[in-house]
Amino acid sequence: MKFNELNLNPDILEAISHMGFEKATEVQEKAIPEILKGNDLIGCAQTGTGKTAAFILPTLDQIAREHQKETSVLIIVPTRELAVQIDQQIQGFAYFTPVSSLPVYGGGDGKDWVQEKKALSTGADIIVATPGKLISHLANGYVKFDKLKHLILDEADRMLDMGFSDDISKIIGYLPKERQTLMFSATMPPEIRTLAKKILTSKPFEINIGLSKPAAGVLQAAYLVYDAQKIKLVKSLIDNKPDLKSILIFSSTKLKVSEITRALKNKVYNVDAISSDFDQNKREDVLREFKSKRTRVLVATDVLSRGIDIKEIELVINFDVPGDAEDYVHRVGRTARADATGMALTLINEEDMYKFHKIEQLIETVIKKLPLPTQLGEGPAWSTRKPPQRFGQKGRGGGRGGSRRTGSFKGNKRSGGGKPFRGNKNPRNK
């Protein structure tokens, strides 16, 4: 279906056309008409399918038709990276409308707080916020949400996984009961159903597309390795693929990210790192260099596994198996976006084999185990037996260093580098 068949505002259609898009993705085609009808909605679709535009476009349409110059939409997201990215996409779609937006997230300075306070008290049309920072503003008593019509939770599963359930409930206590509520997620664990019952004011329309499976364009494979072989294998993979200009390496801990980055430093190509330890300006600088291909290899925690829409990442390497099966889907989803193709390779040591076997069960795919390069010697033998629990070991296993990320408009051509301009970006609103 083409966007001009969805009965959207002409100014929004003009922006979509200006950005070079004509056809809606499946999740957009199913969600936009229901949201325009005013229905509550739960949308579950794999990363890279266009969930963000599925909720931005219809809510923008309604604001543009009934502009009230007060905050109409609140979008709650798990991380500041996702808040910035969604705000950038709103800028593009709203370019020819009088709609304003502002991202509200932690890590800023006093000037950011003043700007956020002004938007929350005088009414930017759309607020995109992380839970903790928004609660800090709500506690001061000046936030005006009495005219709010739309509540959107993006990456809802990740927010629950990060422990934001109580924060979300607290925020909802400040909102009008009469509102439209939309929940979007890439996976649908039981906790999402429980949250939906709490916050949805009517029976929601449900969309389920490609639940918990990587995109079809991702070529997945794995290597069985001992830890001592991992760095040598990664160097071999990078050196033997000189045509690949964008490689993303995931590790589950911040400490390991630093170790990998130091080991891969090379005079021939640029290597950089990103984790939740970096301040916002540093993160933006690193991402800008990676997006522009000036950095060839980026080593990251799961801060980049959700919602960061970087085009043409050709290879994703999981240096270790992620702690949760769902995290594997999101890591792998950083490549093969917007109908492109890509490769995802996972390095599996003896202790992670059972965990990786559970991932294969989740995505209903047996992933091919490739032989190691001969110079590295033999790796461990494949086994799906659950390893014995070590003394003092608790929980689900696997490090969880770094905050999480999430949602994207499929093929968004405006989400390139550059530090985000905070505040009203529409030249017709100055």
Which ranges of 186-312 does DSSP label H, i.e. alpha helix?
190-199, 227-239, 254-264, 280-291
| 220-229, 305-314, 416-425: least confidently modelled range | 416-425
**pLDDT tens readout for residues 111-121:** 889 999 999 99
**pLDDT tens readout for residues 235-289:** 999 998 888 889 999 998 888 999 999 999 877 789 999 877 777 778 888 888 9
How many C-beta neighbours within 10 Å does residue 124 have? 26
**pLDDT tens readout for residues 369-394:** 999 999 999 999 999 887 765 544 43
| C-alpha dist (Å) from residue 82 to 102, 267, 369, 415 | 13, 32, 33, 11
Residue 174 scores a pLDDT above 60 = yes
Mean pLDDT of the chain: 82
More confident residue, 316 or 107: 316
What φ, ψ does residue 292 adopt, rounded to 5°? -80, 0
* CATH number for region 3-211: 3.40.50.300
| Mean pLDDT along residues 88-97 | 89
Cα gap 43→49, rounded to integer Å: 11
Structure tokens at 144: 């005006």
| Cα distance between the two ends of the chain | 35
- pLDDT at site 415: 35
Pairing assessment for the beta strands 41-45 and 101-104 based on DSSP bridges: unpaired
Cα gap 425→362, rounded to integer Å: 42
Where do the DSSP E strands lie in 49-130? 73-76, 101-104, 126-129
| 41-45, 132-136, 379-383: least confidently modelled range | 41-45
Cα gap 99→246, rounded to integer Å: 35
| C-alpha dist (Å) from residue 391 to 27, 227, 322, 365, 385 | 46, 20, 21, 32, 18
How many residues comprise the chain?
430
| Mean pLDDT along residues 147-162 | 90
How many C-beta neighbours within 10 Å does residue 391 have? 5
DSSP count for the chain of H helices, then E strands = 14, 14
Question: With pLDDT > 90 as the criterion, what percentage of the chain qualifies?
Answer: 45
Q: What is the pTM of this model?
A: 0.60
Name the nearest CA neighbour of 349 among 245, 239, 222, 234: 222
Which ranges of 66-109 does DSSP label H, i.e. alpha helix?
80-93
Residue 413 scores a pLDDT above 60 = no
- Residue intervals of the chain classified under CATH 3.40.50.300 are 3-211, 218-376
Cα gap 297→295, rounded to integer Å: 6
Cα gap 201→41, rounded to integer Å: 10
Angle made by CA atoms 214, 217, 221, in degrees to the nearest 5: 70
Domain 218-376, CATH number (from 3.40.50.10480, 3.40.50.300, 2.60.40.10, 3.40.50.720): 3.40.50.300
Cα gap 301→280, rounded to integer Å: 15
